[in-house]
Structure 1
């Protein structure tokens, strides 16, 4: 079997990926954390990407400090631009590894990760490190997709192609060491990482896209990801599919997006763990 072509992160940092990540806010992607936020908190946002969630946290902790952590500088320029555009100064970008965080024990009030642990080869190690740098009484907050929950309507003429895309995503992600159904595993992982079950609050929430504007945006993202991101390169390099397969899956996304009845949902698992 050939080695993965590019990035161990399944979609890499293609423009379509950053376009998706830049839509995310605390409200639409981390609302379960709002109930524990306080104005003077210090927060670490692991896997911050272009920083829209990170910066949103910073606006909600005006007497605190927020650090966004990524494993490369690929998104640093966009992160800094987003912070400057919003006039937020209590936030900064650092490069680091969630499996070896360069912070002392008991540093942060909240350590947050959104759609990160599913891509990490050692999720328990990541959670243990997040726990280590969290203050006693603080929180680890993690939200992860449950990829098997992908749901589409209408189904006629496209569902098998979209299932093929989903199955391809599973194969590539797991070859790279990730777990696309991370959402359902979060409680078990947190317990194995050292949290008592009574300290874990588990919830779920979903993204749903149905309006013409939402369908056009979501379709465009996934057509570009399927055809041009690291996902496409890895599919071919690993021998899991061909360019024709990728184009067939992209057409299915386009057909779904063109339907006036189009509806899509993806469920996420969430855990808020008190240390």
Structure 2
């Protein structure tokens, strides 16, 4: 098998402001489209599991089965394993690996899923092919990706569109596709799934309460100046440190407005092998 490795760069990195967002994710708020398809004895592979909050939740939906969380950056798996231990979840393990060349035999899993991964990789279709390869005949490949071009917010504070434009430039320069959500069904077909085997859907994260807005605006205000996103923007001369500080202040200013609201659109696919 071709041992291809990842050539794109994860735009956000693993700064604390990024992990605050990742650890908020659960199976219910990030994989609801998949849950009706899970059965107690299934063997599941979660690609790009990060700190493992979704992965640990998924284990509860397959109590007689097993879930494996795979992550390219091994350091964050310390947090994932600690979470599983804290919650007393034993039908789970976490491994370091590259989704471009999965170290599993054909047909190893009933379900292979990824969340917010394909938008950050150089060859999303190739990864979907790998996911398909290690899925059993009759099994499921599932993926959910956000679509930055479809994000919506209120009120329209001056500078927010500058943030989105910069994010798209940085993500694209890293080899990713920030509008991945709208492309999921097309990528799945190119990966070898018949159109009749693909079920497409969409869902959102919506932030509207005072607590949610403070959390969302705060983490982006910090991420804009302190994460890998900021470092890349400056190193590639896509923005200056002054530009980033101004955008960070825009996020803070937006979060202080009245009747603030933010919606993150995701595209989803469930593909039958």
Pick the TM interval, shorter chain. over 0.9
SS in 2 for 1:268: strand
Partners of 2:188 and 2:152 in 1: CA distance: 27
Contact 2:9 2:121 in 1 (8 A): no
> In the alignment, what sits opposite 1:9?
10
Please name the residue that 2:5 is paired with: none
RMSD (CA atoms): 0.9
Q: Distance in 2 between matches of 1:26 and 1:72?
A: 21
Q: Distance in 2 between matches of 1:43 and 1:221?
A: 31
- TM-superposed CA distance for 1:260, in Å, is 2.7
Most deviating of 106-115 and 69-78: 69-78
Measured in 2, the distance between the counterparts of 1:187 and 1:110 equals 17
Aligned partner of 1:209 in structure 2 is 207
Contact 1:210–1:263 under 8 Å retained in 2: yes
SS at match of 1:32: coil
**Within 1, Cα distance between the matches of 2:33 and 2:231?**
35
Q: How does 1:54-69 map to 2 (within 5 A)?
A: 54-69=55-70
Residue in structure 1 matched with residue 81 of structure 2 by the alignment: 80
In structure 2, how many angstroms separate the alpha carbons of the residues matched to 1:115 and 1:138? 21
Aligned length: 266
| In structure 2, distance between residues paired with 1:140 and 1:167 | 31
Per-residue CA distance 1:63-120 (angstroms, 9 max, x = gap): 0000000012121111011101111011111011111000000011110000000011
Q: Distance in 2 between matches of 1:172 and 1:255?
A: 23
The aligned residue for residue 3 of structure 1 is none
- CA separation in 1, counterparts of 2:138 and 2:72? 27
In the TM superposition, structure 1's runs of 4+ consecutive aligned residues that sit over 2 Å from their partners are none
Which blocks of at least 5 consecutive residues in structure 2 are unaligned?
1-7
Partner of 1:224: 222
TM-score (norm 1): 0.95
TM-score, length-scaled by structure 2: 0.96
CA distance in 1, matches of 2:92, 2:231: 34
For residues 238-262 of structure 1, give each alpha carbon's deviation from its aligned partner in whole angstroms, at most 9, with x where no partner exists: 0011111111111111111112310
Q: 1:113-164: per-residue Cα shift (whole Å, max 9, x none)?
A: 0000001101111000000000001000100001101111111xx24x1111
CA distance in 1, matches of 2:200, 2:151: 20
